[in-house]
Chains A and B, each alone.
Chain A
Amino acid sequence: MNNPNNPLARQNGIVVQEMPDEVLVYDLDSNKAHCLNKSAAFVWKSCDGTNSVGDIVKQFEATGGGKVTEDFVWLAIDQLGENGLLSNEVAPRFQGQSRRQVLKTIGLASMVALPVIASLVAPQNALASVSCTCTTNSNCAGRACPSTTNCNPVGLCAPTAP
């Protein structure tokens, strides 16, 4: 039975692509893409609202993932929560500690690849990310072009040729 204190993976408003050792999740609300490594993906899939953190530890070990601690699973849950991949609020375990500190503590005690979620926001403006053409100087602001302030006479966000 679901226990509101147990983490529950988000099911709605996401696109999921399963890969052999990773899971990709695209969040349709935030337009953010996440790549969960094998450990993070296992924990995420185990967050069904019935499994406690202790249960997930046991399942991880039972499926040959290797010996892990509850902190290991919490590290994944904290990242899942931060990235909006849980549908319930789970109080963060490592609040106030830097990620570096946490990784050091858990990493030293673990022989298993730590759960990692890499994330990236999809560009809001497709044109800005692929083109340096412009009609006015203001078109150049915020673009990865040779100039962010000058629309030159041939319509490029670039310095004006002498």
Chain B
Amino acid sequence: MIESFTFTFESYGARVRLSSNERSTLDGLVAVARVSLLGRVTEVDGGEPDIVFELNRLDNGDIMLVQDGTELGASDSELKAYRFFDSILRVSVGEHAPGLVFLHAGAVGWKGKSIIMPAESFQGKSTLVTELVRAGCEYYSDDFAVLDENAYLRPFPRKISRRTEDFKTYELSIDDIGGKTGTAAIEPGVVLLTAFQEDAEFAPIFETPGTGVLKLIPFTLSIRKQPDFAMGVLHKLSSRAIIISSLRGSAERFARTLLDFVDKNVN
């Protein structure tokens, strides 16, 4: 019989079980989980998990990541396997977290109100968040805007993940850029749907609350698992925040333009 090592924990209300056929690999998973979820990993005994991850060493030396019984891929690189797990763990916790909605978005606070910038990967979220923090905003997240039942933004301040033009990755701490991390839950301010385009000028289109919510759905992790709750929170967000769409040019220049817009229209 193959030995299995397990660790079950709760994070943001979601219950996760990790297992591996190697003790050292399980230890690696737990270490990644602690960093990935900002230390909010509380070991629990028993109970049905919402999510189960297995990372098993195969006979050929590769490691295979399995989620809820589905094989996600084998790799001969531990780095790749742990990185993939790191991403998928946060997404899965975000899908299941009760009482919270995780939006895939950069998020900052400005004068007590949230600025949320949903975007797909590689669209410059982290770059824009970095520039906004340099311009005086409080840092909340470059990855997920975490909203409570009142659509207030809560901090999820991972290190800012940056990439070079040739796709090498590195991380920046808030101290590195001389910024400050937000700690309080803050009320909705602006939701900005944007994409980078060389030399684009800021030309905001105000979305209606309904179309705004529709445009946020692709970024809402729990929309399929908790549609009722997620729709309720998006509704609250859209009724209290201004939702705008606009292309943007360089993040450095755009950060100040956006804050001027927020000052005129929100605060």
Contacts and interface: CB of A to CB of B under 8 A. Distances in A.
A102 to B, nearest CB: 22
Contact of B65 (A129, A135, A145): A135
14 contacts: A17-B213, A26-B223, A26-B227, A33-B231, A122-B218, A122-B227, A126-B221, A127-B92, A129-B104, A131-B88, A135-B65, A135-B75, A146-B167, A161-B168
Contacts of B75: 135-136
Interface of B: 65, 72-75, 77, 79-81, 83-84, 86-88, 91-92, 94-95, 104, 120-122, 163, 166-169, 208-211, 213-214, 217-221, 223-224, 227-228, 231-232, 234-235, 238-239
From DSSP, what is the main secondary structure of chain A's interface residues?
Answer: loop
A135 B120 contact: no
A139 B72 contact: yes
A135 B81 CA distance: 6
Interface of A: 15, 17, 19-24, 26, 28, 31, 33, 35-37, 118, 120, 122-124, 126-127, 129-136, 138-139, 144-146, 151-156, 158-159, 161-162
Interface centre among A22, A36, A161 (most CB of B within 10 A): A22
From DSSP, what is the main secondary structure of chain B's interface residues?
Answer: helix
B71 to A, nearest CB: 10
B80 A161 contact: no
Contacts of B220: 122
B167 A20 contact: no
A151 B231 CA distance: 34
Contacts of A37: 210
A152 B218 contact: no
Nearest to B65: A135
Nearest to A130: B104
A31 B211 contact: no
A26 B224 CA distance: 10
